[in-house]
Amino acid sequence: MDIFSAALSALNLVLTIEIFFMLLIGICYGIFIGLMPGLGGIVAIALLLPFTIGFDITATLALLLGAHIATIWGGSVTSILFNVPGSAKSLALVFDGHPMTKKGEASRALGASAMAALLGGIIGAIFLALSIPIIRPVMLSIGPSEYLVLALWGLTIIATFSEGSMLKGAIATCLGMMIAFIGMDPITGTPRFWFDSIYLMDGIYFPIAMIGMFAISEMIKLYIKKGSFIERVAGQEDSSVLTGCMDAFKHWWLVIRSSLLGLWIGVLPGIGASVGGIAAYAQAVQTSKDPDKFGKGAVEGVIAPDATLGANEGGGLLPTLAFGIPGGESMAILLVAFLNMGIVPGPQMLTTDLDLVFVMVWIIVFANLFTTLLGLIISPKLAKLPGINPNIMIPMVLSVCIFGAYATRGYFLDVAVAFLFGILGYYMDKFNFSRANFVIGMVLADMIERNLHISIGLDGSLFIFNKPVSIAMLCLLVITTFLSLNRKKKNTP
C-alpha cells in the first residue's frame, strides 16, 4: 500500500461520528487530568488501559491519543496560571508563563500556549507521515554517547537561567542532581543516600518534588505576602486569547525550530518530552536578540516549549511503532495499550499496516485541533482564577497539591516530602537560588548517569570521544555554552 492511498483510507476511517465522539471524550478527560499537578499523560493513559481490550481499534486510539494530547495543554494551564507544572514535560512553561500571569497577561499566555501546541502537533504529524522511509538509519546512528552529550548540554542551561550569581545557579543544579541520586543506582542496583529508609530506596519521585518546589512554595510566598498572584483585579487584563494566538504566528520561525527540536528528541528512544521542553526554552533564549526579557514574562518562553511538546508526540510515536522502543514514559504506556489491542510494532507497521499508522496521524491532527479550540473557548474563564481572594486560593491549590502528591503513588509520606520541598523552594527563591536549575539537575541526573555507565562499559573508556556524531555534538555544546556565557558577560553592568 502506497503512502497516499494509506492516508486516504485512514481519513475515511477517522471521519465518523463515533470516532469524533470518542476523541472529544478523551480530550475533555485529558484536560481534566492535565490540570491535576503530578498526574499528566502517563496517569491519564494508565487509567484508560482497561478500555483498550475488546473495543474497536480506531475508536480506542481516538480515546487514548485524544486524552494523551489534551494533557499537554492541561499541564500548561497550571504552569502558566499557578506556577504548578502539571507534569515534568510542562516544567519549562513556569519560567515565563507564570510571570505573564503576574503581569495580567494570562489570557495571552494561554492563547499562545494552545496555538503553539496546535502548530507543533501538526508539524509532528506531518513529520511522522513523511519520515517513515528514512528514519531507521538515523535512529541506529544514535547511541548512549550521543544521549550523554545531549544531557550534558542540558546542564549548560545554567548559563541561561542563572540571573546574577553563576555560583548560586551551579549550586542549585548540583543540589538537584544530589537529590536525584537518592535511591537505587539505575545500573548496579546499589542503594545510595537512603539512610536505612525503605521509602528512600525508591528515590525522591520527581512529580512530588516538583509539586513542592513550585506549587507549595508559591502558596507559602502568597500567604506571607498577603496578596494575590496578580496585581490587577481579575477581569481587567490588558491581553486577550486572540493576541496570544497571533503571537504564535508572529514567531513562526521559533515555532518551526522548536517543533523540529521536539521531533528529534521524540524520535530518540527513552528521552521523553521533559528534556524537550527545557531544551526548547534554552534554544529560544540563546537565539533571541533580547535574552534578558526571558524569565520576566516573554511570550516566546511559552511558545517554544509548547511547540516542542506538541511536535514531540509525532516523533515519539515513530520508534514506538517501528521498533517497539518507547520514545518516552508516556509512549511506554501507549505501547502497552497497543499490544492490548493487538497492534504489534515492527516493520509491518510501516508496510502492510501503514493505514493504521495514518489513522494515528489523523487522530493526532484532529486531537490537537479540537484541544486548541476547546482551550481557546475556556481560556478567558481560566485566566480569572489567579485573581481570586488568596484566602480561597491557598486552600484550593494546597488541596489539589495534597491530592496530586498522594495520587501519584498512594504514599502518605509523599505528601510530607512535597511540603518539605515547598519549604526548600520558598527559601531558594528568597535567597535567589534558581529553582529552575534545581529541577534541571533532577531531570538530567539519571540520564547522565545511565548513559555514562553504558558509554564507559562499551569498551572500557569514555566512548564519547570515539564517535564522530558525539564529537560533533560535543563541539556544538561548547560553542553554544561559550556564546551564552559571553553574551551574559556583555549584558552584565
Question: Each residue's pLDDT tens digit in the chain (493 positions)?
Answer: 566 777 788 888 888 888 899 899 989 888 887 776 655 666 677 667 666 666 778 888 888 888 888 887 887 888 888 777 766 677 778 888 888 888 888 888 888 888 888 888 888 777 766 766 665 555 556 667 777 777 777 676 655 555 556 778 778 888 988 998 898 887 777 888 888 888 888 888 877 887 788 778 877 887 787 655 554 444 455 668 888 889 889 888 888 888 888 877 776 655 555 667 777 887 888 788 887 788 888 888 888 888 888 887 767 777 677 666 555 556 666 776 777 777 766 666 666 777 787 888 888 888 888 988 888 888 887 777 766 666 776 787 788 778 777 876 778 888 999 899 989 988 988 888 877 778 778 877 877 887 777 777 665 555 556 667 677 777 777 776 676 666 656 555 4
Q: How far apart are CA 260 and CA 255, in angstroms?
A: 9
Burial class (CB in 10 A: 0-12, 13-18, 19+), 213: buried
Cα(276)–Cα(281) distance, integer angstroms: 9
**What is the structure's pLDDT at 350?**
64
CA angle 174, 175, 176 (to 5 degrees): 90
Question: Is 142 strand, coil or helix?
Answer: coil
Which cell is 447 given? 540520564
Sign of the alpha-carbon torsion through 452, 455, 458, 459 = negative
d(CA 493, CA 491): 6
Q: By CB neighbour count within 10 A (0-12 exposed, 13-18 middle, 19+ buried), where does 18 fall?
A: exposed
pTM: 0.67
CA distance 361 to 223: 46
Q: How many CB atoms lie within 10 A of CB 335?
A: 18
DSSP character for 192?
A: E
d(CA 121, CA 134): 20
For residues 402 and 398, give the distance between their C-alpha atoms in angstroms, rounded to a whole number: 6
Q: Which residues pair with 184 in a beta bridge?
A: 191
Owner of C-alpha cell 484550593: 396
Distance CA 3, CA 257 (A): 26
CB atoms within 10 A of CB 25: 15
- The C-alpha atoms of residue 79 and residue 229 are separated, in whole angstroms, by 13
Beta bridge partners of 183: 192
Q: Which amino acid is at 23?
A: L
The separation between the first and the last C-alpha atoms of the chain, rounded to the nearest angstrom, is 63
pLDDT digits (tens, 9 = 90+) for 146-177: 777 777 776 766 555 555 567 787 788 889 88
292-312: per-residue pLDDT in tens? Answer: 788 888 888 888 888 888 887
SS3 183: strand
Distance, in Å, from the CA atom of 488 to the CA atom of 490, rounded to the nearest integer, reads 5
Q: Residue 191 forms beta bridges with which residues?
A: 184
Assigned C-alpha cell, 184: 537505587
